Amino acid sequence: MQKIEHIGIAVKDLDIAENIYSLLLNTPSYKREEVTSEHVITSFFKSGPNKIELLTATDEASAIHKFIEKKGEGIHHIAFAVEDIYSEMSRLKADGFVLLNDVPKKGADNKLVCFVHPKSANGVLVELCQEITPTTE
Ligand code: ZN
C-alpha cells in the first residue's frame, strides 16, 4: 500500500453535499463522474495532497443506497493507492482477507479498484485502487 488515496463519503443529495464540502474545503469539486456499474455518482475534491470522494446512489440497487438506509450518511470507505492491484489482491487473499470482487473493476477517476469486506478490516470498507495507465489497460 502506498498511501491513502481518498476517503469516500456516502451522501443522500449530491448537490447539497457538494455545496457543504466546497465551503468546508474552500475549493470546488474538480470532477463529477457517474459509475453506472456501481449505480453511483461521485464527486471529487482535493484538499492539499488529499482527496475526498462524495458518493450518492442513482437507484436502490446501489450499495450506497443500502449503506445510507442502514447507517445514515457518513464515511463509507478508505481507499489505498497500490502499485500492483493484482499482487495486492493475491497477498490479501492469501492472508485470509475477504475481497468483494475477484478481479479489479473499473472505478471512478481512472482507477482499477477492488474492495475488501468490512468484516475483514474491523468494520471498515477498504478500497484498493491503482491508477489506470496505458500499461495497465
Ligand atoms: Zn472510492
- pLDDT tens-digit series, residues 14-49: 999 999 999 999 999 999 999 998 999 999 999 999
Q: Around ion ligand 1, which residues have CB less than 5 A away?
A: 8, 53, 79, 127
Q: How far is CA 39 from the centre of its chain?
A: 13
* pLDDT computed for residue 39 by the predictor: 95
* Gap between the Cα atoms of 132 and 137, Å rounded: 7
pLDDT of residue 108: 87
- Supply 11's cell numbers: 451522501
Q: Which amino acid is at 29?
A: S
What distance in angstroms lies between residue 79's CA and the mean position of ligand 1's atoms?
6
Segment 55-67 shows an average pLDDT of: 96
- pLDDT at residue 42, rounded to an integer: 97
Distance from C-alpha of 31 to C-alpha of 17, rounded to nearest angstrom: 14
Distance from the alpha carbon of residue 59 to the mean position of ligand 1, in angstroms: 18
What pLDDT was estimated at residue 135? 72
Predicted confidence (pLDDT) per residue in 106-116, tens digit: 988 889 999 99
Global pTM reads: 0.93
- Residue 107 C-alpha to ligand 1 middle, in angstroms? 8
Q: Does pLDDT of 137 surpass 60? A: no
Q: Are 111 and 128 in contact (CB under 8 A)?
A: no
